[in-house]
């Protein structure tokens, strides 16, 4: 199982960024997928998750209306579109397999929101 994130970087407050995750080594369409983030030196937060066919999506309260999770099963890919970014969104974002407990994690991609 391999999960490879990309798309992180430095962005100004109010800006946008789209994270991508390419999955391999398992049947992507069999699993919910989740984005988890970690503020450097602090704890973990479950940002959003999405059902196998994309029909169900759930978001943490602080990103509702700003972030959109999506997937392309033909490309074995998971995405996170992040708009109206805030300083407090600064974190390492991990792509993880599953909905509720996560055995497989990507290496993470750092998103820094700063002026």
User: Which residues bind to other proteins, rule: CB under 8 A?
Assistant: 34, 42-49, 58-61, 64, 94, 99-103, 105-108
Q: Quick one: 3 or 11, whose CB is closer to other proteins?
A: 3
Tokens for 82?
């992040």
Q: Quick one: 11 or 48, whose CB is closer to other proteins?
A: 48
- Name the minimum Å distance from CB 31 to other proteins: 14
- Name the minimum Å distance from CB 29 to other proteins: 20
Q: Quick one: 14 or 88, whose CB is closer to other proteins?
A: 88
- Name the minimum Å distance from CB 15 to other proteins: 25
Q: Quick one: 42 or 53, whose CB is closer to other proteins?
A: 42
| Residue whose token pair is 């994309």 | 54
Q: Parallel, antiparallel, or unpaired: how do β-strands 57-59 and 67-72 relate?
A: unpaired
29 close to 54: Cβ distance less than 8 angstroms: no
How far apart CA 4 and CA 114 sit, in angstroms, is 25
Q: 17, exposed or middle or buried, with CB in 10 Å at 0-12, 13-18, 19+?
A: buried
- Name the minimum Å distance from CB 38 to other proteins: 8
How far apart CA 93 and CA 108 sit, in angstroms, is 5
């Amino acid at each position: 199982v391999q999960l490879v994130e990309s798309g992180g970087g430095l962005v100004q407050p109010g800006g946008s960024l789209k994270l991508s995750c390419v999955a391999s080594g398992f049947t992507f369409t069999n699993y919910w997928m989740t984005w988890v983030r970690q503020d450097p030196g602090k704890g973990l937060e479950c940002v959003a998750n999405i059902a196998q066919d994309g029909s169900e999506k759930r978001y943490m309260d602080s990103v509702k209306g700003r972030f959109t999770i999506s997937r392309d099963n033909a490309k074995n890919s998971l995405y996170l579109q992040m708009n109206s970014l805030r300083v407090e969104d600064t974190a390492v974002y991990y792509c993880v397999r599953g909905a509720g407990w996560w055995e497989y994690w990507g290496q993470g991609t750092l998103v820094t929101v700063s002026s």
